[in-house]
Chains A and B, each alone.
Chain A
Amino acid sequence: MLKISNLQARVESKEILRGINLEIKPGEIHAIMGPNGSGKSTLASVLAGREDYEVTGGTVEFNGKDLLELAPEERAAEGIFLAFQYPVEIPGVTTINFLKTAINQIRKYHEKEPLDAAQFLKLMKEKAKSVKIDDQLLRRSLNEGFSGGEKKRNEIFQMAMLEPSLGILDETDSGLDIDALKIVADGVNQLRSSDRSFIVVTHYQRLLDYIVPDFVHVLYKGRIVKSGTKELALELEEKGYDWIKSEADALEASMV
């Protein structure tokens, strides 16, 4: 599904991703953890196509296509979805209107007829129910004045609506109370299928109790320095990052 090879990216003159390798097969869930500033959101943004980051090397293949060649909206249409760490407020555009445009643009990309208002509303009602999001919220300007938790839930709702083949969740769990966390996890688990994969960026083992990953990776200074199974997350929870950092720093020093 997704194959990232030696991906390097920088912003202005600062190198942030310094050779990422990661392969995700259909149906898999990969958790990415790592200290603040290690490059997790950058990786997510580069995959979604943010132009601020300059890709300086490496390749990303997504379902047989060269992902880096595609515009962000084409990536979305091809099935990539990024749940933002900081969802953006868009005044004057309601979530409903926004999603209707998004869905129909994606349908257009696939040369499908647009959904009419009734079909769209039916779909929306169904999905809103599945992630327990209030109708009223969807009638408001997108994310404007939403609480932190509401914004995150709205991201999951959008993901449920767009049914991507690769969902990238960037700290969707942070700032959520325990009930909201369960709802978000439920939303993801409902979407789980043999042909849909997820990258879950998180700082907390807690989320991984609900969304059980197949693999856990640790990103540090722009590289994946350790990979393992869900037990790795438990170990990190217990021991912190210091042991990984010193291992990685020692390795890097020995290579210079």
Chain B
Amino acid sequence: MSFQNIQAQFEAEFENIQKKLNGQSGSDFNTIRKESFVKFKQLGIPTVKHEDWKYSNLKNLDKIQFSFNAKSNFSKSDLDALPFSSLEGISICFVNGVFSEQLSQLGNTPKIKVLTLEAAIEQIPNVIEKHYGSYIETEKEGLSALNNALSNSGSVIVIDENYVLESPIIIRYISDVKTADIAVNIHNLIVVGKHSEAKIVEIFQTEGEKTAFSNLVTEIFVDKDAIAHYYKIQDENDQSYHVGTTQVNQEDKSYFYSATITLNGGFVRNNLNLVLNGQYIDNHMYGLYIPNGKQHVDNHTLVDHKMPNCESNELYKGVLMDSSNGVFNGKIFVREDAQKTNAYQNCRNVITSDTASMNSKPQLEIWADDVKCSHGTTTGKLNDDAIFYMQSRGIPKPEAIRLQLVAFAEDVVSQIKIEELREMLDSMIENKLK
């Protein structure tokens, strides 16, 4: 059997957590944990036999001995030395899955709550009860079940009704892997209230060269007439494993704009699932991945159109260098009731080396008849004619290639509504595409 070693580690950690619970082991929360763990044991860690994991092989995970909640001395000056540290906004920071007050700038107001899960359970129990764990699908995804069972930290962000928050809310995840291989399970909840607007940025970074296994769930509830901007930025080391599911529930007339940008990461699997649970909903999903070396980046997206008159737009772009791999799977469901749906999906990739590869698969399932859907995927090399044209004007070949790749990536980056973040990304992308 595969994953015996890692599975045993998770079991031990689960026991560990249970032992520490004392009197609370009978709470509703813990009941869900236990059930989730049973589910995880049934489902296990997905292998390549799993339809949705065909191209993404986690097998090397099993060779690693992880520490859970490993201690870290990661300091403010360490943070300042990392990219994106100067990005301004309300921020909540986790180091190895543990909330760091020192590295956070919470700035709570009556209209905005940025809390740790623990604090949220105490301060806003009704929100937790209503939303926490309500959207994530654990029935089929072993790793989401595992997250449910093991996560004992995360952020809870609530934007009250009728409030437009200009400054971004940043969730930082630092994996300090200078000395140990670590595993973290984090579960976040973001609620954007009726008629409100917020910009959420998740930033994933590593410090050190050992392995971090991050298993994340972020649930986002976008209430009626609300607007949520969601940017997921990944810049982790080549040893890292990142499996993250962002589960979005949208209500009537809400907007959800996302950009998932993978600058670096050894093994990355992003699931972005949108459930359109109302009418006149709009959403845009952008993605950019620029793996090099042996990096592996897998984006799975799912848009579930349940009701009429909604629109979804999706553009994912990849630049695959060296021996890197990319995977894109875009599911669009248009249910029987979802008449007058517009759903557009596009995945475009440039491969810059003979040893890089890309697997992209659109998957449209349409049960309604009055819909407009389109999808397209392209994977190719840069146009030689264009490179020669640029060279003939005095631009050396590597620079000609870089200019074109940067322009290609810009389609996605330009969609980001935080100028400061856009500029930071531009310079990092330009550097990497050298």
Contacts and interface: CB of A to CB of B under 8 A. Distances in A.
Interface stretch (B7-15, B285-293, B294-302, B400-408): B400-408
A120 B395 CA distance: 16
A71 B390 contact: no
Interface stretch (A76-84, A128-136, A196-204): A76-84
Interface residues of B, number: 21
Contacts of B399: 101, 105
Contacts of B392: 48-49, 72-73, 75-76, 81-82, 84
Contacts of A77: 394
Interface in A92-143: 92-93, 97-99, 101-103, 105-106, 109, 141
Interface string A42-58: 00000011111000000
Given A92-B407, A92-B411, A93-B407, A106 B389 contact: no
B395 A105 contact: yes
Contacts of A105: 394-396, 399
A73 B395 contact: yes
B434 interface: no
B383 interface: yes
A165 to B, nearest CB: 13
B59 interface: no
B389 A162 contact: no
A238 B410 CA distance: 53
Contact of A73 (B394, B403, B404): B394
A149 interface: no
Contacts of A88: 383, 385-386, 388-389
B393 A90 contact: no
A71 B394 CA distance: 9
A51 B394 CA distance: 15
A256 B394 CA distance: 43
A76 B393 contact: yes
B394 A106 contact: yes
Interface string A18-60: 0000000000000000000000000000001111100000000
Contacts of B383: 88
A91 interface: yes
A141 B408 CA distance: 12
A158 interface: yes
A76 B404 contact: no
Given A71-B396, A102-B395, A93 B388 contact: no
Nearest to B383: A88
B377 interface: no
B389 A73 contact: no
Contacts of B396: 71, 73, 105
Q: Most chain-A Cβ atoms within 10 A of its Cβ — which of B389, B397, B410?
A: B389
B391 interface: yes
Contacts of B391: 49, 71-73, 76
Interface in B373-392: 383-386, 388-392
A76 B403 contact: no
Contacts of B385: 88
A103 B404 CA distance: 17
Given A98-B403, A101-B403, A90 B395 contact: no
Interface string B353-391: 000000000000000000000000000000111101111
A158 B393 contact: yes
B110 to A, nearest CB: 44
A101 B395 contact: yes
A52 B407 CA distance: 25
A202 B128 CA distance: 75
Contact of A102 (B393, B404, B410, B411): B393
Contacts of A90: 386, 389-390, 404, 407
A76 B393 CA distance: 6
Interface string B405-422: 001101100000000000
Contacts of B403: 93, 97-98, 101
A51 to B, nearest CB: 8
Given A50-B388, A88-B386, A98 B408 contact: no
B389 A87 contact: yes
A49 to B, nearest CB: 7
16 contacts: A49-B391, A52-B384, A73-B394, A75-B392, A81-B392, A84-B392, A88-B385, A88-B389, A89-B386, A90-B390, A91-B407, A92-B407, A98-B393, A102-B390, A105-B399, A162-B394
Interface of B: 383-386, 388-397, 399, 403-404, 407-408, 410-411
Given A49-B392, A90-B386, 15 more contacts: A51-B388, A71-B391, A71-B397, A73-B397, A75-B392, A76-B391, A82-B392, A88-B388, A88-B389, A92-B408, A98-B403, A101-B403, A102-B394, A105-B396, A109-B394
Give 6 nearest A-B pairs by CB, closest first.
A92-B407, A76-B394, A72-B391, A102-B393, A106-B394, A88-B389
